[in-house]
Chain A
């Protein structure tokens, strides 16, 4: 499985309140949530984002509230993959559970710039910055988590 897209870049400690502000949490509707994705940190994001684009954050991406609405909004906005130096733990498991691909890679997080075209190979964990020609190796998921991803998320996995 692969993804290729252009990068939206964010700093360290992006919290789930800026990914989807709580004033919009009066609905579980993914499309309504996606319309406000990143609104408090990058109001132009939702106008700029194209299907397949890639989000790159720094350390502790997705910290704060447990709201699953956050990865759901990012996924529904069209983002194909989130790369970060580290993820906050609830965001990490929420992304796996709902099938939003994420990769931890401090080197890629530091080097990749906004607007770069990036290719991600989920099977090998290799991240290629097509714009600069640099490649990076992300931590592969343990087999236990790979199974959840392969089954299409947690609910499909436990149904099996």
Chain B
């Protein structure tokens, strides 16, 4: 019985020849991550336990992204606690305002995470890095504290769901539509405790930004991780970027999967998740009667350059509908700068949008776009739970950047192929 790609990475990091689903292991970590919300809790645990050194100050990443530039005094205190800890222990990858980005856009962009890595992050969307062929999963703050102290983490080896992609992504259909479609198909606990392993000839049509978006939302089906095979697209992305040499792991021919799902990308449509669960998916075309108040384009799911380009292509030379607030948030300073250099920012502002520096802000109802009672938002973020973006009686509709931009133009949920 062979191993899945995830199982091979875990076995190698646990120093074992072989692991199987359900086995409990201790694995060596390549990178440990936290943000301005989860790191303070981790620092408290680290200090309470009496640790006075970190396992490797080059392998710990602290990114201030959720509530920065600081949204209030308490948030400022949390940022300061992160900053003080980073200074005290000489954390090399500490990213403050000016050089920060949304963590899951920033770490791949900087080549900090690479193929074959074993990574934990005190943020549920840490599963994003499966896009570059890493095992990467979200944990809590105490796991982060233990990881910073020891460089290790305990895992239950996951079983896997294989998702075989055929065909290719069609115009105006993106990785976001694919992952929303999958979550709609299997449900928000459809991959609970499992790996989501992607394969098949359709993988080649997914850009790295598409793959990052897909793996980012694996957690929204309950998955432990999402992972793509390392192919030409991965190698092209990592070359000249990866800060460390990488290792390519491939699933065995006889790897065991609990379930295999086949998806023909040719048939995929622009897809939207209705409130209040990501599994409530319908085609965007079903939303023509849903009047909206706000659009958010950004986040760790969809704040990358291709996402900005998709929005720009639809909005340039036009104007958003009256009464709509459109908030665009490039996910890193490099993406923010590139949007300026290419003139996209000017076009987006002329179209009636606001463009913010990187922050997670509105996605989790932090700041920069909170919804009032009864308001509706089409958002390229990852969660539409009750109260996620503001008032408990507000509504979030999850969509791709193209669908969100098209909806901003009309004021209703809109299939981007129709504008």
Where the two chains meet, the residues of A that have a C-beta atom closer than 8 Å to any C-beta of B are: 13, 15, 17-18, 21-23, 25-28, 40-41, 59-60, 63-69, 71-72, 86, 88-90, 93-94, 97-98, 142, 144-145, 153-156, 158-159
CA A28 to CA B38, docked complex, whole Å: 8
Q: Is B44 an interface residue (CB 8 A)?
A: yes
Known interface pairs A59-B189, A66-B124, A154-B143. Does A22 touch B392 (Cβ–Cβ under 8 Å)? Answer: no
Beyond the given pairs A21-B365, A26-B75, A97-B143, 7 more chain A to chain B contacts, judged by CB atoms under 8 angstroms and listed by A's residue number, are A17-B385, A23-B365, A40-B387, A40-B392, A89-B224, A144-B154, A153-B142
**What 1/0 flags go to B186-212 for Cβ under 8 Å of A?**
001100110000000000000000000
Residues of B within 8 A of A25 (CB): 37, 66, 364, 366
Q: By the criterion CB–CB under 8 Å, are A154 and B388 in contact? A: no
Q: Is B141 an interface residue (CB 8 A)?
A: yes
Q: By the criterion CB–CB under 8 Å, are B366 and A23 in contact? A: yes
Q: Is B67 an interface residue (CB 8 A)?
A: yes
Q: Is B72 an interface residue (CB 8 A)?
A: yes
Q: Is B50 an interface residue (CB 8 A)?
A: yes
Q: By the criterion CB–CB under 8 Å, are A155 and B387 in contact? A: no
**What 1/0 flags go to B139-151 for Cβ under 8 Å of A?**
1111101100110
Instruction: Specify which of A23, A60, A69, A142 is in contact with B222 (CB 8 Å cutoff).
Output: A60
CA A72 to CA B77, docked complex, whole Å: 20
Residues of B within 8 A of A64 (CB): 124, 383, 385
CA A145 to CA B156, docked complex, whole Å: 10
Classify chain B: how many residues form its interface, as a range.
35 or more
Query: Which residue in chain A gives the minimum CB-CB distance to B75?
Result: A26
List 9 tightest A-B contacts by C-beta distance, closest first: A26-B74, A94-B140, A68-B140, A60-B189, A155-B49, A22-B364, A97-B142, A66-B124, A40-B387
Q: What is the total of A-B residue contacts with beta carbons within 8 Å?
A: 133
Q: Is B41 an interface residue (CB 8 A)?
A: yes
Query: Which residue in chain A gives the minimum CB-CB distance to B152?
Result: A158
Query: Which residue in chain B gives the minimum CB-CB distance to A155?
Result: B49
CA A144 to CA B139, docked complex, whole Å: 18
Q: By the criterion CB–CB under 8 Å, are B385 and A155 in contact? A: no
- Listed A/B pairs (21) with beta-carbon separation below 8 Å: A15-B383, A18-B386, A22-B388, A25-B66, A40-B392, A65-B383, A66-B38, A66-B124, A66-B126, A67-B38, A67-B140, A68-B41, A86-B189, A89-B193, A97-B146, A98-B140, A144-B154, A154-B146, A155-B48, A155-B49, A158-B149
CA A89 to CA B155, docked complex, whole Å: 11
CA A30 to CA B38, docked complex, whole Å: 13
Q: Is B380 an interface residue (CB 8 A)?
A: no
Minimum distance in angstroms from A32 CB to a CB of chain B: 9
Q: By the criterion CB–CB under 8 Å, are A98 and B142 in contact? A: yes
Instruction: Specify which of A63, A67, A68, A155 is in contact with B146 (CB 8 Å cutoff).
Output: A155
CA A13 to CA B279, docked complex, whole Å: 11
CA A13 to CA B385, docked complex, whole Å: 10
Q: By the criterion CB–CB under 8 Å, are B383 and A156 in contact? A: no
Instruction: Specify which of A26, A93, A145, A155 is in contact with B139 (CB 8 Å cutoff).
Output: A93
